[in-house]
Chain A
Amino acid sequence: MLIYLQMIDQPEDKSKFEKLYKRYRDMMYRVAFDILGNPQDAEDAVHQAFIKILENIHKISDLKCPKTRSYIVTIVERKAIDQYRKKKRHPLVPYDDETVGLRVEYAGPNRLAGCMAQLPPVYRQVLLLKYSHGMTLQEIAQTLDTTPDNAGKILQRAKVKLFDLCREEELI
């Protein structure tokens, strides 16, 4: 659970949000469409993602940097997964069992990254938010629409799952 607030009356925030909207809407749509396969659902997911982005618009300083792009991808993937669950009418499917999401095919030499890429999206997302974006538990919770308590539990489960994969790959 989390609450967020839109405050876009600051001219600089409004301008930034409009630029961000124009710059990323097509990419966001493609990401959502890849997951959902339906134009209407994809647009709904993109709309929900933009509502979410509004919450943190003041934290986005550079519209073009990879970190911003990555953050936006995470949000829209999350919202597309939400939309998928809503459409499939399985709201009580355990959150961490969800497998729908972006397919990440890592082909580099870092075997730990290879294991991380194989994780279910919610686990991969929470690890990226913490370790790539350097977010606090509270910020992760806000991004994933949950409480810090739940975010902490997801993070813990993500690490357990990652370490299980590492054992299977004989990394540890």
Chain B
Amino acid sequence: MITEDMLREAAREVDCTILESLPDDACEHTFSRSFQRKMKMLIHPPIYPAKERFLRWAACFAVVCAVLGGILLNDSAHASISEWECVQVDDRHFNYYYKGDTPPKEIKHYTLSQVPEGYTLDVVDDWDNNKTVCYIDDQGQWLQFSYIYGYRSGLHVIGYLEAVEKKSISVDDKLFEVYISLTGNESNGVVWYSQDESIIFEIFGPEDIDTLIALAKSVITAEK
């Protein structure tokens, strides 16, 4: 019989073995300029002043006008100048960079107004006006709803263990980015932004994309 205490003791010993086998801190490596530049960006992320934001917006607008030949832009999610930029790192990791620089006028809180049958509330993680709510079903499957305010230069990453298919779909004039597990071993996901794009929302779970989008559309404001 192996007890939890025995597992803890064994894990601590393995942990110590790994630490003792590590190279000496004094082994100095000369990092490439590219690496140092990327790290500098992490430690001191760029702040986009209002003037620069306007210029960027104007440049984007001019390009869009040229491409569309003067077609009037509507206010759909497709046409908006996004505050978020999604960079695909590989087929499993997607970085969302928030480019806005002003806090939202009002901090709101959100909740799902419906949850699929069989799920019960399991974990709520609330930090600095951002929230993650996890529901669990009787088979131990998790459904996760999160929203994150992007102000203060946020980086937001979606990572999978296995390759996923990512695509954008529009439902009722609202743009959703969907993540579809190719193997069925992992969660499907739906990501979207608030109307002013200050918040990124996401729902991940074992349900199909249609169900996840229905859940996304059920999100309402809530008391904190």
Contact = CB atoms under 8 A, between A and B. Distances in A.
B74 to A, nearest CB: 29
Contacts of B187: 1, 147, 149-150
B160 A105 contact: no
Interface stretch (B10-18, B65-73, B211-219): B10-18
B31 A43 contact: yes
Given A3-B156, A148-B123, A40 B19 contact: no
Interface residues of A, number: 72
Contact of B157 (A4, A102, A146): A4
B167 interface: no
B159 interface: yes
Interface centre among B18, B91, B123 (most CB of A within 10 A): B18
A2 B159 contact: yes
Interface stretch (B49-57, B110-118, B145-153, B169-177): B145-153
Given A26-B29, A73-B22, A148-B142, A132 B162 contact: no
Nearest to B122: A148
A161 interface: no
Interface centre among B15, B21, B31, B128 (most CB of A within 10 A): B15
A3 B148 contact: yes
Interface string B110-135: 00000000000001010010100010
Contacts of A18: 43
A172 B13 contact: no
Interface string B45-63: 1000000000000000000
Interface of B: 1-2, 4, 6-19, 21-23, 25-29, 31-32, 34-35, 38-39, 42-43, 45, 89-93, 95, 123, 125, 128, 130, 134, 140-142, 144, 146, 148, 152-163, 179, 182-183, 185-187, 189, 200, 202, 204, 206
B143 to A, nearest CB: 9
A3 B177 CA distance: 14
Interface centre among A9, A21, A166 (most CB of B within 10 A): A9
Contact of B159 (A39, A146, A148): A146
Contacts of B160: 1, 145-146
Given A1-B189, A82-B92, A127 B7 contact: yes
Given A47-B38, A70-B18, A131-B11, A1 B179 contact: yes
Contacts of A25: 29, 31
Given A18-B43, A23-B25, A146 B11 contact: no
Contacts, number: 207
Given A6-B45, A26-B26, A106-B17, 18 more contacts: A3-B157, A6-B156, A27-B23, A29-B31, A31-B23, A43-B31, A82-B90, A91-B163, A102-B21, A108-B13, A112-B6, A113-B14, A115-B10, A130-B11, A145-B93, A146-B159, A147-B142, A148-B142
14 contacts: A1-B186, A2-B159, A3-B156, A9-B152, A14-B43, A26-B23, A31-B22, A47-B35, A108-B17, A128-B11, A131-B7, A145-B93, A145-B160, A171-B2
Given A17-B43, A69-B19, A145-B160, A91 B92 contact: yes
A110 interface: yes
B40 to A, nearest CB: 10
Interface centre among B7, B19, B34, B161 (most CB of A within 10 A): B161
A138 B126 CA distance: 13
